[in-house]
Amino acid sequence: VLLANNQEVLAYVIGGLLIGAVLVSAVGLVRDRYYAILIARILRDIRAKLFVHLHNLSMGFFSQAKSGDLLGHFSTDLTMVESAIAGGVTSLILPALDVFASCILLFFIDWRLAIVSMLVWPMALLGPRYFAPKVSMVSNQLQQTKAATLGIIQEDLSAQPVIKVFNLADDIIAKFKAQNEQQTDVLARVGFFSSMVERSANIGILFLQVVLVGIGALMVSKQLLTIGSLAAFQTLFASLSYSLSEVTRYLPRLVEANCGIQRIEKILSEVPALDERKDGKALDNVDGELTFRDVSFGYEKDRMNLSNIDLVIEPGKSVAFVGPSGSGKSTVLSLAMRSYDPVQGSVLMGGIDLRESSLASLRNQLAVVFQESFLFDLPVRDNIRIGKKDATQEEIEAAARAAGIHETIMKMPAGYDTMAGEKGKNFSGGQRQRLAIARAILRNPRILILDEATSALDPSTEASINETLLQLSKSRTTLSVTHRLSSVVNCDRIYYLEDGKILEHGSYQDLMAQNGRFRDLWEKQHGFSFSENGNASVSIERMLAIPIFSVLDRPVLEDCVQMFTTETAPPDRIVTAEGDIGSSMYIIVRGKVEVFKRNDAGKEIVLTTLSDGDYFGEISLLRSVPRTASVRTLAHCVFMTIQNQHFLELVKHSPELLKKLEETVESRLKRDKEIMRS
């Protein structure tokens, strides 16, 4: 057109280009809009599928899974998928169409040069073929490293009290820095291999361009090709190369997204451990009788945590499970709620095997109050309504009144609209438990389950909540687990467990008459009393049951009990730290603690848990030595403590007494060493 100066055709060409530009822009706008909606919906569907699937998985899955990993599926994995889909049209489909069209046109311009230019395919694809699997491998590593980094941050945030008390900040920072270095290293490798996918293709294309210019120029000089055709060929080949490198630039994103999809698919292929029958029997008309028939269960295949449990709980009766920590009390409750299925034997409600029942109908028969009740960050009204979704305001208020929390709610400026705050932080521990009880009352369950429902509370709140629970349990089957025996006296039947077996059972009177393990535990927990202002005291008889005090004469003991002071501590507090020089002994009047050490790798090893009536730190009464382990509270605790200087003041005048005390300390040290070794 230009050489012939054909104005008319030029006008048509320009006009055609203009229409093309308008069309391309309009189609582009429509495409952008619908593509954005499409991407958002694809991600919405994956997110929803994942979230719904997580709710079908068993408690066993959640107790094994790391929350950092699970969150990673919703954040990093989905972000990678989003990035890949977002570039799908602009970086894959359109450039691919462009490459396809350009290839055909090249053959129209000059088939000989076009054949040479087809070398572009191996040149552009060999490099990516070699580097793409490497990108896949390192981006998988990157996701794992990111999850580990998130894990450290998460642990660090929740472990601040321990970190501060133990001066662990330097260790944790060092650990984080090492992890951060590792992530940096993997990220750099991902970056390098990703750019090598693109670079290796570009290098091939660049050399091919030089070759094509050379051959083209030679053909022009031999008059096998016109200059115009060479220019058109080069322009088209440049456009083809650009589109091809756009595709290769996009490939790493596709590879990374594939890794993300694989990780998501792995979760989606996780099967629920509970096999729920589609035609499961409804339990609406059963009477609340619960039977364990030769039940054995283990969280792991090779170790049973409950063995051959046989029991029948009659409708309307209240039973309690007691025993040392780790004996399997909470596991019995988990099986009754069908959080797990027994490995052997069966659990039946109203004569129906729970495996054959409908899970939803089973859960409708139950209400549970846990040791720590979870409140959602919703108004109080909605937190109580969780017990019965269609409850009216009157029903909610009646339940709150019965749980003894109505007055407290009404005193709040927003009343039932008061937000509970994150994890219910706007309410105290006792108030949270009362709200959980209100939920349970609202549900009016056939079976009430109390899992250490009052253990985290201080003595006075505990007593008043126990009173409320007693009322609530009167009209229904109640299963409770507690380590505090005074709250099980009125139960119809008590089961004493040890190592996953029922060792004793019967009423409180029966068990006391048996003079067995229950009675030992009872006596360990008794002999303590509280004054009105909350100060604890201990009887002389109870003191005599503690070896280090058993060698003291009665008058010395009478002075000794006066020297105890009362200390309280909330859950998750470090009471004594390993390595500190001990100066006092602690008796646990109420509560639960864990004794732990750190191994060489800095990991916490729990040696034992102690509860009501146990004691620790008695060696420091005689010797100023570093503590051999740390103690952390697991629940609200009340301790009686005595300082070594006061104790020594009492006993230092009697060398004979000191000798006896030394002997008891020696035997205690020997026992401690054996525990540490094992």
Which residue(s) pair with 606 in the sheet?
596
Q: Does 328 bind ligand ATP (CB under 6 A)?
A: yes
- Give just the sign of the alpha carbon dihedral 303, 309, 315, 316: negative
| Interface positions, 490-529, toward ligand ATP (CB under 6 A) | none
How far is it, in rounded angstroms, from Cα 543 to Cα 533? 22
Q: Name the H helices within 110-226.
A: 111-117, 120-158, 160-165, 169-221
- Residues 590 to 609 in contact with ligand ATP, rule: CB under 6 A: 609
Instruction: Provide the minimum distance between the beta carbon of 505 and ligand ATP in the complex, in angstroms, as a whole number.
Output: 15
Nearest approach in angstroms of CB 497 to ligand ATP is 7
Q: Could you give the 3-state DSSP secondary structure of residue 534?
A: coil
Q: Residue from 326, 527, 547, 570 that binds ligand ATP (CB under 6 A)?
A: 326
One-letter identity of residue 283: L
Q: Is 483 in the site for ligand ATP (CB under 6 A)?
A: yes
- Candidates 153, 147, 199; CA nearest to 175 is 153
Q: Least CB distance from residue 498 to ligand ATP, whole Å?
A: 9
Task: Give me the least distance between CB of 356 and ligand ATP, in Å please.
Answer: 25
Structure tokens at 478: 């109640």
The least distance separating ligand ATP from the CB of residue 608, rounded to whole angstroms, comes to 11
AA identity, residue 338: R
Q: Does 305 bind ligand ATP (CB under 6 A)?
A: yes
Output the six-digit token pair for 444: 């009016």
63 binds ligand ATP (CB under 6 A): yes
Closest approach of ligand ATP to the CB of residue 536, in Å? 22
Total residues contacting ligand ATP (rule CB under 6 A)?
A: 14
Look up residue 367 and give its two tokens: 């209400």
DSSP state of 5: T
Residue 76 or 327 having the CB closest to ligand ATP: 327
Does 550 bind ligand ATP (CB under 6 A)? Our answer is: no
- Residue 307 within binding range of ligand ATP, rule CB under 6 A: no
Q: By CB under 6 A, which span of 96-104, 132-140, 220-228, 319-327 interacts with ligand ATP?
A: 319-327
Which residue in 329, 338, 432, 434 binds ligand ATP (CB under 6 A)?
Answer: 329
Residue 330 is a binding residue for ligand ATP (CB under 6 A): yes
Question: What x-and-dash track marks residues 429-468 binding ligand ATP by CB under 6 A?
Answer: ----------------------------------------
Q: What DSSP letter does each residue of 396-426 carry, written as one string?
A: HHHHHHHTT-HHHHHHSTTGGG-B--GGGTT
Region of 120-128, 322-330, 431-439, 600-608 interacting with ligand ATP (CB under 6 A): 322-330
Q: φ, ψ for residue 294 (rounded to 5)?
A: 45, 55
> Distances from the Cα of 88 to the Cαs of 85, 112, 245, 479, 632, in angstroms?
5, 33, 14, 57, 54
Query: Given candidates 145, 327, 576, 620, which one binds ligand ATP under the rule CB under 6 A?
Result: 327
- The helix or strand, by DSSP H or E, that contains position 661, with its residue range, turns out to be helix 655-677
Residue 299 sits at the vertex; the CA angle it makes with 298 and 305, to the nearest 5 degrees, is 40
CB-wise, 145 or 454, nearer to ligand ATP? 454
What is the C-alpha to C-alpha distance for residues 439 and 444, in angstroms, rounded to an integer?
9
For position 331 contacting ligand ATP by CB under 6 A, the verdict is: yes
Q: How far is the CB of 649 from ligand ATP (least distance, A)?
A: 38
Q: Which of 325, 393, 471, 490 binds ligand ATP (CB under 6 A)?
A: 325
661: how many CB neighbours lie within 10 A of its CB?
A: 22
**Cα gap 495→506, rounded to integer Å:** 7
Using CB atoms within 10 Å of the CB of residue 308, give its burial: 0 to 12 exposed, 13 to 18 middle, 19+ buried: middle
For ligand ATP, the closer CB: 234 or 330? 330
Provide the residue type at 173 as one letter.
Answer: I
Of the candidates 403, 536, 421, 407, which has an alpha carbon nearest to the alpha carbon of residue 461? Answer: 403
Q: Which stretch binds ligand ATP (CB under 6 A): 149-157, 325-333, 502-510, 642-650?
A: 325-333
Q: Which is nearer to ligand ATP, 305 or 431 (CB)?
A: 305
**Nearer to ligand ATP (CB atom), residue 481 or residue 642:** 481
Residue 299 lies near ligand ATP (rule: CB under 6 A)? yes
- 568 touches ligand ATP (CB under 6 A): no
Residues that bind ligand ATP (CB under 6 A): 63, 299, 305, 323, 325-331, 481, 483, 609
